[in-house]
Structure 1
Amino acid sequence: MSRRTPRNALDAVRTPRRFTGFLKTASVCALIAGLLSPLSPAAAADAAPKAAAEDHCGGRCSDILPPGENGNATLAQILLHQAFGTRPAHAGDQLGPYADLASGYPALTDEKINTFFNDASFGVPADQVASTEKPAGRDDVTIVRDKKTGVPHITGTTRYGTEFGAGWAAAQDRLWLMDLFRHVGRGQLTSFAGGAPANQALEQQFYRVAPYTEDELQAQIDRAVATNGERGQQALADVQAYLDGINAYIDASDSGRYFPGEYVLTGHKNALTNSGKIEHFKATDLVALASVVGALFGAGGGGEVNNALSLLAAQSKYGVEEGTKVWESFRMRNDPEAVLTVHDGQSFPYAGKPDDPQGMALPDPGSVTEVPLVYDRTGSAKTPAAQDASATATKTTLSSARRGMSNALVVSGAHTASGHPVAVFGPQTGYFAPQLLMLQEIQGPGISARGASFAGLSMYVELGRGQDYAWSATTSGQDVIDTYAVELCQDDHHYLYHGTCTAMDQVERTNSWKPTVADGTAAGSYTMRVWRTKYGPVQYRATVGGKKVAYTTLRSSYLHETDSIIGFQMLNDPGFVKGPEDFQKAARHINFTFNWFYADAQHTAYYNSGDNPVRADDVDAEFPVWAEPAYEWRGWDPATNTADYTPPSAHPQSVDQDYYISWNNKQAEDYAAAPWGEGSVHRGDLLDDRVSKLVAAGGVTRASLTRAMADAAVTDLRAEDVLPKLLKVIGTAPVTDPAAAEAVHTLDAWVSAGGKRAETSAGSEKYAHADAIRIMDAWWPLLVEAEFAPGLGTELYDAMTANLTVDEAPSAGHGPTGSHAGSAFQYGWWSYVDKDIRAVLGEPVRGPLARTYCGDGDLSACRDVLLTTLKQAAGKTAAEVYPGDDQCAAGDQWCADSVVQRPLGGIEHDRISWQNRPTYQQVVEFTSHR
């Protein structure tokens, strides 16, 4: 099948097609037959499902999470999949409906929503019950799974039983994935799953930012409990019951031989003798898991060293005063044309530029060197691929571009057809098989919710709905990470702390691996070593004014990945959340950097969470500062990494605004702690333009708001918001070159048709306007370089592109998301091109660039630049623009854009057509309120 995906992601668990040697030694059919009997036992039939909890959605709550709820497969099921293409039940049944929305949305009505989504009502109708189970024979909890999706509906009569059931269901659906990521969080993935380069890159990425000892993992738990009173004690009890459920399932699956087959394929279990062991989970494993989630999605800021290097390059090019102006204009830290989530005029000042910055510790030119993470490589760890893996991990970790990707569209009841608010929202956590998230419903004392949770952290629903309200989040990315320059003394591993020469703390992890059936690499080993100071882990070494320094990275959530558990506990508690103000109070307890959205039958709300440190008034958060008391976070205690944080009232927030949109865009006026690229053109504009028109017309419905999201999801941001201005410049005079004229005609037709990257028909695997898309994909990087590099010069242009990638089209195999990731157009030079071209045209520009670059500001010369690069782009073949990869043949445009469910285990799924959309998504409209 053309949409079938070959192996990728974690090479160590590339189970199918890696076993040809193994399969030659035994008959496939005989082996499968011998393994079929020890599959998961049938659920008890005599345990009747419990009545659904109070539900105020009136059948108008829906959700979707591809590819499917079932993320575990036995060895027999993996081998059947390899031999015959079959998949376990509910492993992929949500992928088709999810994919179909890309072509089906224009005809969407409220009645058809559950063609593309699941019914997210509480409970399971009697005729839809697929199985009913009393986990481990307990009388105080029942797990019912529905026929359509196999989602677990967990109902407990005691709090312990409820959480025990949540743990059992988590292991039942995601045990292998949970095991992978508890090892990722500890920097032990290669020793667990093999030394493939992708595995090395993944563990290196997270170990650098969260190099915790076991004592530090436990200390996080102890501190969260000690500082949160009864709720802290309840959280600890919930975690223990949850762990008990996970471990009970491990024991049951081990004795019954229906554990995930990847344990056999990676050498942890023996299929014939059942020897080997699946380690029980403990509380610190959950902290390790939380550190991965927090680093991926909830820690904004950083990149101060890169900022400093680009500032120095600008000052070298133009002089200090003019160079600083040029740099600031590209940084756009508070751009007046940026699309806002809170657009009602409220201002929330944070991390703005001081009038007279103090304490800046800019490196001496050419002095910055990266501190190695990996030492003492042996065997396969010495291969070039492994070296590249280390470099990739480092680049990803240190980049100021944080993963974002999620979106939200929320409309107040004043503008809907029903008079009730409508929301379409969800997180974009990437596409994996099994998915990082899992669906569940949990009903028990003090808990009543349905939705998605990260596997292994699903003691509560993290994004979903309660009895009469729903909530979701997008990554906000505000700056909670700072870089300090610690002056070295004695040697490279001692530094001055408050005037005293202090030894750095060294933490390290040595991993070794053997070849496994699932991994084609040879044995090898290496050691990861991180040097830590009171100001956080060391990232770089340099000199500042001739003094030797180490640059460290300190984030407010460092050593505090467990703190957010209280906020999630509150969001699941129907006794706590009774309206928008309660929702905001719960969100305040989440220390990760997220935008939170809320809707019930009467109100909507928004709150930006995160521990925003209070900096000294004259510290500029964009650059490294000296590690001295005057420039430390106010109230900072290095022993616990706690500080004074901005009060809740200072965080962007709102209740009942006419509408809210978020696609990782700027939160509010004067909230200047944003990533690079939040300027006049942002993918948030794709949502804002559509939702604002719906609101102006009135009568918004679930279907119309979903259509707005889906239409934005297949639109090329460049085509909608930048290309018309480029064509306007070209159109200031006749185009006489035939090739250029044809390209202009092709692009103009695409713009007139809406600038979509959409199939000619569902399943065609061919784009309408394919030539225009090819030309745009080829043209954008060419025109950006030709527009800006001559004026900036090579050194400054390269420094600026290191801060913000030029392009993030769907087919791009670079940037923070990589290829086949769905999410696109978050990071790019869209605003720079937009502002520069408007300036050349003589149109008004608020917050302009410090200089005009295209053609040095001359309209005719700018037109020549655009036409020259356009003709060059039009001449590129599809194979040149889409060179092919491990998924696609060269020149296959549709495939280059396609979304791949990256296999993290033995089951694979078909590719789907590109759409820029959350992984998990809700469509909600409550009809009543308690």
Structure 2
Amino acid sequence: MPRRTPRNALDRLRTPRGFHGFLKTAFVCVLMTGLLSPLSRATAAEPAPAQVTAAVDHCGKQCSDILPPGQNGNATLAQILLHQVFGSRPAHAADQLGPYANLATGYPGLTDATLSSFFNDASFGVPADQVESTLRPAGRSDVTIVRDKKTGIPHITGTTRYGTEFGAGYAAAQDRLWLMDVFRHVGRGQLTSFAGGAPSNQGLEQEFWRHAPYTEAELQAQIDSAAAKNGERGQQALADVKAYVDGINAYIDASDSGRYFPGEYVLTGHKDSITNAGTIEHFKPTDLVALASVIGALFGSGGGGEVTNALSLLAAQSKYGVEEGTRVWESFRMRNDPEAVLTVHDGSFPYATRPDDPQGRALPDPGSVTREPLVYDRTGAAATSSAAGASTDAAARAVTSARRGMSNALVVSGEHTAGGHPIAVFGPQTGYFAPQLLMLQEIQGPGISARGASFAGLSFYVELGRGQDYAWSATTSGQDIIDTYAVELCQDDYHYLYRGTCTPMEKVERKNAWKPTVADGTAAGSYTMRVWRTKYGPVEYRATVGGKKVAYTSLRSSFLHEADSIIGFQMLNDPDYVKGPADFQRATQHINFTFNWFYADSEHTAYYNSGDNPDRATGVDAEFPAWARPAYEWRNWTPETNTASYTPPSAHPSSMDQDYYISWNNAQAKEYTVAPWGNGSVHRGNLLDDRVKRLVAQGGVTRAALVKAMAEAGLADLRAEDVVPKLLRVINSAPVTDPAAADAVQKLSAWVTSGSKRTETSAGSKRYAHADAIRILDAWWPLLVKAEFEPGLGSELFGALTANLPVDESPSAAHGPTGAHAGSSFQYGWWSYVDKDIRAVLGDRVRGPLARTYCGDGSLGACRDTLISTLKQAAGRTAAQVYPGDEHCSAGDQWCADAIVHRALGGITQAKISWQNRPTYQQVVEFTSHR
């Protein structure tokens, strides 16, 4: 097994040398200061009351949810050290991991009665005999935090609005204080100064600060703006945030004086384990905006990529000429493929479609594009990794991978269910971390009644969950709200023409310096991040266009508006506002991030696509950079506030009471262009759509049946289910005489016949059924794509297109966009390209075909030769070659290469679990009544 290299400020503790060297002094300090005693969060608890009064609940014990690994994401120094020595974990740190993992092998026999083996009861309230602890935070009489025995989830009940939100902040800090602190610093680009100069810390802050390089004044202005423009709701939101922050700070003070704060503060030098010297900085409302900017960057900012689009278009035109090259490019782009699976079955919602007569394009001169540097003035030993190297570090990459593969939803109307009520199985696919980015809670107070998941540090409202008689969830939609503008330079490289006037760019810098930490092997160091901003957004690239020097900028409609969505979430939590599907849709219209929203109550289902979609000028093609000139700006755009005219709600895909809805980041509706490439005939959304469509046709759908459909889709290999059968048709068009090829074909055929799933031979075996077939396909896919397309496209164009869309994203594909061990798979790849091309070779009908046929230049025999030669090459590769091993797995360990790793963002680690392509937080709901 390869030697493991420490990855972050805490990772040094997870190597024998680093840990034991530190243990000699730290463990003595722990014993001296009594930190071994507060091993439970039930400090300052009061006796359990005879009964905890629950809010009105119309779910009839038919609401469930799950969020691994566990609710408790804080650990004292003692608990971290005990974990390292003995493997123990704090209470409720891992108790949701086992049930979540076990669904991968337990789903075939699932019934409604056995759902509780894999999901938590998500009913409101806590039965008296299930109360683990009761706390009145800071001695307040207007709020109580009750935690249940099974999961430790906080159930917050307030008699005043302030007290309710104070309790929510206190509970959030109890469960995620360290994580919240990490991410408020990530959002400000100050993680290294806070947690040390490890490459992963540098990678995280570089990834996100480039996206939202705000000043403190801009963070505050976003709060003021959101409060001012939304009347009473805006003022209430501001009051809620302040109360929430007060609750966080009350916990900081209590844990500091009681010395049970997270141990990571000691390990990173912020607190002294013996004297308790040092401080944990209080939170302020602007910290929440910094946090929101990170979450928005991860999950709610579709679009961008116009420069790489332009480069691939130029490569296509260079290869084929302008007219034919454009046609080839458009066929690979698949803006609105007629074979794409859709969430909304009826109606058309044109957005970002290709204009008939494009205007204002600013394509770069060939070879002129350079990426704008972010990092300057590096010093110190920890700075030996380049910015590019740091950004691809495993820990940083794992967090940013969450942006790639987000969320699914299966919703069936009551007309097709056994109970006559709609059923929903849905949730966000936000990656796997320890502690988790999301946290569970129930909030009951004046104007608030909800249970569900929220991002740590933003849990003043439930963001995804259920109300008294309805539930809602979201998937990332990815429509384009980011445009690239070419600003013409004048005077020098840091002045540009803005509406005819030579204007200086604004320089925004973040200087970070760090000291060595107890847990970090790096030396002291520093570096500066620098972003040049224009009225049209931050500079991302430089180039020439027609010989003129330009800077390419990125303008995002949610830039300077990270706090605006607070009103929509406030409405979703308000039982007096949401009383049906129309209210739900109106609430989500206030969310400016790009999401697909789903709703279910006892009678209705609904869907709405949110986001501030800019109203572009006539003729501007959203796929390519446009000149930064008034004629091509967003309509009614005001740069000082970054506001503009946006497409009206009626233009957003929406629906009520459709037979069923599915979403797995697929296309939303006809003519509604999604930003990601490759939304064509084969998409992972098909794995859901095919199964749910069959259930609906059969009728009598149950909660268990819908969960089984989700679970089976989450274990399927998309390539094997939807593409390999066509590849085998080509190969089997003549007798296969080569023994090695024939053996590979037999193994692949048997796997496809069995259901194309990547499943263990038995629960806990850590060995796959059809292991050889899986190994062969994992090795074959990249080889066959390259052999199928590169000869026809040429190396330059093939490389440019793979920059737009990587060829593969299998669970073990460390080279893919999510990296290995991330869970989310099969969202990005050349599945549709291969599918359409092979069908063309076979003579099948293809709607929206590629501009040319590539495999064997259209010849069935030549294509067959290509497939057989690459298949033989793949079959000859050993498991160790296909799965080379990493810091988590030995070379050749196929199960481990796929396995989900909860990336450590603190001192407590979690065990690996078997791969399943599934939401991280998931609800199963069927309401039995309605108000």
- Pairs within 5 Å for 1:711-722: 711-722=712-723
Match of 1:680 in 2: 681
| Greater Cα offset, 105-114 or 14-23 | 14-23
How far 1:522 sits from its partner (Å)?
A: 1.6
Q: Which runs of 5+ in 1 are unaligned?
A: none
Match of 1:827 in 2: 828
Residue 914 (str. 1) matches residue 894 (str. 2): no
Q: Is the 8 A contact 1:195 1:380 kept in 2?
A: no
How far 1:393 sits from its partner (Å)?
A: 11
Partner AA of 1:31 in structure 2: L
Q: Distance in 1 between matches of 2:524 and 2:252?
A: 29
Q: Distance in 2 between matches of 1:30 and 1:198?
A: 28
How far 1:405 sits from its partner (Å)?
A: 2.2
Residue 423 (str. 1) matches residue 428 (str. 2): no
Match of 2:464 in 1: 463
Match of 1:200 in 2: 202
Partner AA of 1:23 in structure 2: L
Q: Is the 8 A contact 1:300 1:402 kept in 2?
A: no
Match of 1:534 in 2: 535
How far 1:394 sits from its partner (Å)?
A: 15
Match of 1:189 in 2: 191
Q: Distance in 2 between matches of 1:569 and 1:166?
A: 14
Q: Is the 8 A contact 2:156 2:443 kept in 1?
A: yes
Match of 1:773 in 2: 774
Per-residue CA deviation, residues 83-124 of structure 1 (Å, 9 max, x unaligned), is 111000000000000000000000000000010000000000
Match of 1:658 in 2: 659
Name the CA shift for 1:218/1:15 in 2 (closer, same or farther; >3 Å): farther
- Pairs within 5 Å for 1:399-798: 403-798=404-799
Q: Distance in 2 between matches of 1:123 and 1:42?
A: 21
- Give the TM-score of the pair, scaled to structure 2: 0.98
Q: Distance in 2 between matches of 1:855 and 1:472?
A: 45
Q: Is the 8 A contact 2:397 2:819 kept in 1?
A: no
Residue 293 (str. 1) matches residue 304 (str. 2): no
Partner AA of 1:102 in structure 2: A
- Pairs within 5 Å for 1:798-817: 798-817=799-818
Match of 2:21 in 1: 21
RMSD, matched Cα: 1.8
Partner AA of 2:907 in structure 1: G
Q: Distance in 2 between matches of 1:387 and 1:403?
A: 19
Tell me which of 161, 164, 167 is aligned to 1:162.
164
Match of 2:120 in 1: 118
Q: Is the 8 A contact 2:62 2:926 kept in 1?
A: yes
How far 1:23 sits from its partner (Å)?
A: 1.6
Partner AA of 2:92 in structure 1: H
Q: Distance in 1 between matches of 2:29 and 2:215?
A: 46
Q: Distance in 2 between matches of 1:585 and 1:626?
A: 35
How far 1:860 sits from its partner (Å)?
A: 0.1
Match of 2:53 in 1: 51
Residue 257 (str. 1) matches residue 253 (str. 2): no
Partner AA of 1:694 in structure 2: L
Partner AA of 1:364 in structure 2: D
How far 1:9 sits from its partner (Å)?
A: 6.3
Q: Distance in 1 between matches of 2:196 and 2:369?
A: 33
Q: Is the 8 A contact 2:397 2:818 kept in 1?
A: no
Q: Distance in 2 between matches of 1:528 and 1:184?
A: 13
How far 1:13 sits from its partner (Å)?
A: 5.5
How far 1:816 sits from its partner (Å)?
A: 3.2
Q: Is the 8 A contact 1:597 1:605 kept in 2?
A: yes
Name the CA shift for 1:7/1:36 in 2 (closer, same or farther; >3 Å): farther
Question: Percent identity between the aligned chains?
Answer: 80
Name the CA shift for 1:487/1:400 in 2 (closer, same or farther; >3 Å): farther
Name the CA shift for 1:401/1:576 in 2 (closer, same or farther; >3 Å): closer
How far 1:633 sits from its partner (Å)?
A: 0.4
Q: Distance in 2 between matches of 1:825 and 1:87?
A: 33
Q: Distance in 1 between matches of 2:392 and 2:491?
A: 29
Residue 73 (str. 1) matches residue 83 (str. 2): no
Match of 1:902 in 2: 903
How far 1:672 sits from its partner (Å)?
A: 1.4
Q: Is the 8 A contact 2:12 2:519 kept in 1?
A: yes
How far 1:391 sits from its partner (Å)?
A: 7.0
How far 1:815 sits from its partner (Å)?
A: 3.4
Q: Is the 8 A contact 1:580 1:655 kept in 2?
A: yes
Q: Is the 8 A contact 1:204 1:393 kept in 2?
A: no
Q: Distance in 2 between matches of 1:395 and 1:437?
A: 17
How far 1:395 sits from its partner (Å)?
A: 12
Match of 2:366 in 1: 365
Partner AA of 2:232 in structure 1: E
- Pairs within 5 Å for 1:37-436: 37-39=37-39, 40=41, 41-45=43-47, 50-343=52-345, 345-384=346-385, 388-390=389-391, 403-436=404-437
Partner AA of 1:421 in structure 2: P
How far 1:814 sits from its partner (Å)?
A: 3.0
How far 1:36 sits from its partner (Å)?
A: 1.4
Name the CA shift for 1:210/1:618 in 2 (closer, same or farther; >3 Å): same
Name the CA shift for 1:401/1:669 in 2 (closer, same or farther; >3 Å): farther
Name the CA shift for 1:158/1:422 in 2 (closer, same or farther; >3 Å): same
Q: Distance in 1 between matches of 2:512 and 2:292?
A: 22
Q: Is the 8 A contact 2:48 2:133 kept in 1?
A: no
Per-residue CA deviation, residues 246-284 of structure 1 (Å, 9 max, x unaligned), is 000000000000000000000000011000000000000
Partner AA of 2:24 in structure 1: K
Partner AA of 1:207 in structure 2: W
Q: Distance in 2 between matches of 1:185 and 1:743?
A: 49
Q: Is the 8 A contact 2:376 2:529 kept in 1?
A: yes
Partner AA of 1:914 in structure 2: W
Q: Is the 8 A contact 2:806 2:817 kept in 1?
A: no
How far 1:822 sits from its partner (Å)?
A: 0.2
Q: Distance in 2 between matches of 1:283 and 1:26?
A: 34
Q: Is the 8 A contact 2:73 2:434 kept in 1?
A: yes
Residue 35 (str. 1) matches residue 35 (str. 2): yes
Q: Distance in 2 between matches of 1:888 and 1:381?
A: 26
How far 1:50 sits from its partner (Å)?
A: 3.5
Secondary structure class of the residue paired with 1:19: helix
Q: Distance in 2 between matches of 1:612 and 1:216?
A: 22
Q: Distance in 2 between matches of 1:36 and 1:842?
A: 71
Secondary structure class of the residue paired with 2:314: helix
Secondary structure class of the residue paired with 1:491: coil
Name the CA shift for 1:679/1:201 in 2 (closer, same or farther; >3 Å): same
Name the CA shift for 1:33/1:327 in 2 (closer, same or farther; >3 Å): same
Name the CA shift for 1:716/1:197 in 2 (closer, same or farther; >3 Å): same
Partner AA of 1:21 in structure 2: G
Q: Distance in 2 between matches of 1:393 and 1:479?
A: 28
Q: Distance in 2 between matches of 1:729 and 1:835?
A: 13
Per-residue CA deviation, residues 533-558 of structure 1 (Å, 9 max, x unaligned), is 00000000000000000000000000
How far 1:34 sits from its partner (Å)?
A: 3.7
Partner AA of 2:282 in structure 1: H
| Greater Cα offset, 519-528 or 598-607 | 519-528
Q: Is the 8 A contact 1:450 1:461 kept in 2?
A: yes
Q: Distance in 2 between matches of 1:433 and 1:396?
A: 15
Q: Distance in 1 between matches of 2:724 and 2:711?
A: 21
Q: Distance in 1 between matches of 2:283 and 2:402?
A: 33
Per-residue CA deviation, residues 447-476 of structure 1 (Å, 9 max, x unaligned), is 000000000000000000000000000000
Per-residue CA deviation, residues 859-910 of structure 1 (Å, 9 max, x unaligned), is 0000000000000000000000000011001000000000011110010110
Secondary structure class of the residue paired with 2:494: strand
Secondary structure class of the residue paired with 1:209: coil
How far 1:226 sits from its partner (Å)?
A: 0.6
Secondary structure class of the residue paired with 2:503: strand
Size of the aligned set, in residue pairs, is 925
Secondary structure class of the residue paired with 2:912: coil
Partner AA of 1:315 in structure 2: Q
Q: Is the 8 A contact 1:633 1:643 kept in 2?
A: yes
Q: Is the 8 A contact 1:423 1:599 kept in 2?
A: yes
- Give the TM-score of the pair, scaled to structure 1: 0.98
